[in-house]
Amino acid sequence: MIHQFKVASGQRVDLLLDFDACHSIVRTGNGKYILKPVIKVIPFVLNGIEGFVDTALLGSNVVVSAQVNGEIVRATMPNTQTGKFFLAHLTPTNHDVVITADDHATAVISGVPVPTTTSITAVSTSGAPIPVITPPTLEASATHSIGGTVTLSPLSATDETVFVAAMQTLGSGPTVTVKSQVAVSEVDPQDNPTGNYPYALTLPIEAPSLGPYATPLPIVFAKQPAEVGVNYTLQVSATGYQSKSLNIPDISVVDTPQDFTLTP
């Protein structure tokens, strides 16, 4: 595939490879089918949010997400060598960037602007990656789990997608999703869905850190009160069923069992 395209100074360009299935599969005169790929190359300018996570943290399953009102609109994992991350193709608006890692507290950068469809906003640099040292961000944290079963009643005729999210409301900032999971249905001996969807979320109990977006970088973080770290709200949803939300005020003592039943 040979295609010319331009990259403006300071910008990034993505290449969309559009595979035309209708014109790529050709029937020959003897009734056989052959593949003659027809692929269009469509360049387009990227927008989004970029930054760096300290490479010392990369063995802890770091996930970086862009969220709006607690809903994850894009998520990625940093480059395993450099710690760089890029959250691409974002709707022009302000986003909250949430950084999580196994056995670590959560870090949140609130109000990160993405003003246009071609703008890229940096939240950290390779010289000053996240986490910062003073004040501590993404501290080591003990964890506890919230788990149980989501039951769909009555059972849907199709295997529905059940989504469970653990959210926190920061005292002086937004509500964000810390961990989420798509629950998978249990099946009977004949491999038929039972309507029961087990889930388990392992969550940090150390208080998260919040840093409002500002320039020049680096972002200045402040640790939230201790009660924020142990207070979670579970949200459970499935297509065609009424969503449910439940506040769990303190998960610091023991693992918390919690079952849900969703109805149409």
Tokens 């439940």 -> residue: 246
More confident residue, 14 or 211: 211
pLDDT given at position 23: 75
Average pLDDT over residues 41-53: 90
Determine the Cα–Cα distance for residues 218 and 142; give it in Å rounded to an integer. 27
Residue 264 confidence class, pLDDT cut points 50, 70, 90: very high
User: Which run of H or of E encompasses 230?
Assistant: helix 226-230
Ranking 5-19, 175-189, 197-211, 250-264 by mean pLDDT, the lowest is: 5-19
Determine the Cα–Cα distance for residues 252 and 263; give it in Å rounded to an integer. 31
- Could you say which architecture CATH assigns to the domain 46-262? Sandwich (2.60)
pLDDT given at position 248: 95
| pTM for this prediction | 0.86
What are the structural domain ranges in the chain?
A: 13-44, 46-262
What does the mean pLDDT of the chain come to?
92
Backbone phi and psi for residue 157, each to the nearest 5 degrees, phi listed first: -70, -20
Give percent above pLDDT 70 in the chain: 99
Q: Residue 130 above 90 pLDDT?
A: yes
pLDDT given at position 245: 97
User: What's the chain's Rg over C-alpha atoms?
Assistant: 22
Residue 75 confidence class, pLDDT cut points 50, 70, 90: very high
Find, among 109, 69, 102, 106, the residue nearest to 87 by Cα: 109
Give the strand pairing for 143-152 and 260-262. parallel
